[in-house]
Amino acid sequence: MEEILAQIDAPRLNELHITFFNQIIFDTPQLFHLISRRPTLRAPEKGHIEFYSKAIIVRFPSQTSDYEILSMKIPCTPSEWQLSALEQVCTSSLPPLSTLEDLYIFEKQGQPHWQDDVENMLWLDLLHPFASVKNLYLCKKFVPRIAPALQELVGGRTTAILPTLGNIFLEDLRPSGPLHEGIEKFVATRRLTSHAVAVSRWDRKSG
């Protein structure tokens, strides 16, 4: 497939949907070049990372609507494989996402089976390519999974991940309710820099 992609120009390509085979190593430089040549595909403003029970999907809607211009699906079940596989795909297949400002992370089709021993570094590796994100939206079930990873960003690493982040939106956040300890410590650490982060409620039903 890589050899075929190397010969494709597709000047009118405005939509691309890919399903990868479940494998250990993902290296798709020709797919990277194909997407890089298409302005419509390489400049999304929003990204959705969706966790299913047997797959993980990243979707990029159009700038003018929720119509998808680019999506990548990786069928696999173990949580750590889902994170590792998607990080590799984002790194090897996607050009720098310099226009993407909104990132949504949530589960689909109920509660996926999730491993409690997933390393925080896997989350940080997954978030690393999204360097231009200003608004991070987290569903309530993933806050306790991502928060400990964000909490590790201290000292010189404070802005190593999500350096332009300005807002975190949490699903079902109550005005008088406490923040997750990891989110609270991450926000407190960022407050000491010139890149403070505000926390607000995300009404997932309204988008």
pLDDT for the residue numbered 112? 58
Q: Six-digit token pair at 12?
A: 């009118």
**pLDDT for residue 115 is more than 90:** no
Number of residues written out for the chain: 207
Pairing of strands 102-107, 68-75: unpaired
Q: Which stretches of the chain are assigned E, i.e. beta strand?
A: 16-19, 46-51, 55-61, 68-75, 102-107, 135-138, 167-171, 198-202
Question: Three-state SS for 55?
Answer: strand
Give the helix/strand (H/E) hosting 179. Answer: none
Q: Six-digit token pair at 83?
A: 């994170």
**pLDDT for residue 8 is more than 60:** yes
How does 43-76 read in b/e, with b if 16+ C-beta sit within 10 Å?
ebebbbbbbbeebbbbbbbbeeeeeebbbbbbeb
Question: Three-state SS for 164?
Answer: coil
**pLDDT for residue 109 is more than 70:** no
Least Cα distance to 2 among 96, 129, 97, 92 occurs for 92
Highest mean pLDDT among 24-33, 34-43, 58-67, 177-186: 177-186
Pairing of strands 16-19, 68-75: parallel
Q: Residues 155-177: what's their mean pLDDT?
A: 87
**pLDDT for residue 206 is more than 90:** no
Q: Residues 81-93: what's their mean pLDDT?
A: 87
**pLDDT for residue 111 is more than 60:** no
**How much of the chain exceeds pLDDT 90, in percent?**
39
pLDDT class for 25, splitting at 50, 70, 90?
confident
Q: Which stretches of 54-186 are assigned E, i.e. beta strand?
A: 55-61, 68-75, 102-107, 135-138, 167-171
Model confidence, pTM: 0.89
User: Cα-Cα-Cα-Cα dihedral of 13, 72, 25, 86, to 10°?
Assistant: 130
